[in-house]
Structures are given as structure tokens and as C-alpha cells.
Structure 1
Amino acid sequence: MALVVLDPPGKHPLSGSVFFDRGSLEEPPPPPPLRSYLCLTIFTCFCPAYPVNIVALVCSIMSRNSYYQGDYDGSRRLGRNARLVAVASIIIGLLVIAISCIVHFTTGEF
């Protein structure tokens, strides 16, 4: 890394320092927002499609871990997978509930 003189001495408070790099004072850009869909995947754990629910929850937790390790692209990909699997789990759960209600009310004696 090369040190660069940006201002002539006497122009800034560190005038005694000949080599002053202002680029090191800038903060890095903020990371993108976290989209792991953890609340959605926890909600899907109440649907009766258990193997699919667990996959959604694991993807969501892996998304959070990737985000905190700095892998933002992997976090976004895993979060998208968690959302898709969670929606599929909700649909499968609603179908299971509907089919069980139809079978129960059409075959039972009143």
C-alpha cells in the first residue's frame, strides 16, 4: 500500500505528518440487509409437512451464519432457498389439512 500526500503541509490539523492517507479514515460500506426469513421458517414448523419444515429452518440458519461470516451472496442465496422451501411447506401443510378434513367429513357417520 503506497502512502500518498493529499494536501500540502499546513492545510490540515496533522500538518507535521508528511504522509497522510485520508482513504484509511473512510468507513467501509455497510453490508446489505439480512434476509434469512427466520420468522417465516419458524412459523412453518407448525404446518404438518415436517421434513420440508426442517429443511427450510436449516437453510434459514445457514443464511444467518453466512451473513455474519461476511458471505453476503451466499446468505442471499440461502435466504431465497429458505423462503421458497417455507412457502412450499405452507402449501403442502394446507393441502394435508384440507385432504384430512375432506376424508374425515365424507367417510364418517353423522
Structure 2
Amino acid sequence: MFISTAYAQAAGGADGAGALMQFAPLILIFVVFYFLLIRPQQKKQKEHKAMLEAIRRGDKIVTAGGLIGTVAKVVGDDELSVEIAEGVKVKVARGMVSTVLSKTEPAKNDAKEEEKEEETKKD
């Protein structure tokens, strides 16, 4: 009387277009996430890695801990000696450098310029 009879839904055909339309929102969400989150993060990581590889002696840096100092010596591929105060040097892992505040000229260019100056002085 008050309860109606429940009938099972008729089984639809398993066609390819119906299955694709079910996954379309998920695919769309993944594409949006890729362009708004994943791709910019990868680009930022690539730029940071290039910045770390380009650190030279004399560059003014900020570490991840917030220390500001000047690179006194590049000890190895993964280590820097940073002067944080006059006469105070600390060793810092290269990966812990967050930003480079000021860059110095490449050492190779300076050496070449000095050689040119010496040659011009001799003449």
C-alpha cells in the first residue's frame, strides 16, 4: 500500500564512449593539476638547482636557516665555506642555500682580463 515496488535498473551496454565519459572529469582534474601545480613546481626546482650549481666564491647568500653570508670557498660539490661575520666561517651544505643575494663575476673572466692587462702593460 504505502511501499512501492522496487525494480532493478536495466543493464546498459558497456560501450567505450560511456566509460570515457565517466573518466572525463578525472582526466580534466589531472590536466588542471599538472598545469597549475606540478609544472610550475618542476620549473622552480630546475631554476633552484641551476642557481645552486652556479654559486661561486664571493657570492652573497642566504641559507635555509636564515644566515646571510659571503661564500669564502667552494669546498666541494656539496659543501661551501661561508663567512657570516668577520673572521667567522661556517661550512654549509650547498642544498641548504635558499637564495643568492648578489653574484660575482666568473673567475675565468677575471683571470683572462688580468692576463690581457699584463700583456698591455708589457707592450
Note whether the superposition's TM-score is higher than 0.5.
Answer: no
**Larger RCO (alpha carbons 8 Å, 6+ apart):** 1
**Bigger share in strand:** 2
**Bigger share in helix:** 1
Flag the structure with larger Rg.
2
**Scaled by the length of structure 2, what TM-score is found?**
0.28
**Scaled by the length of structure 1, what TM-score is found?**
0.30
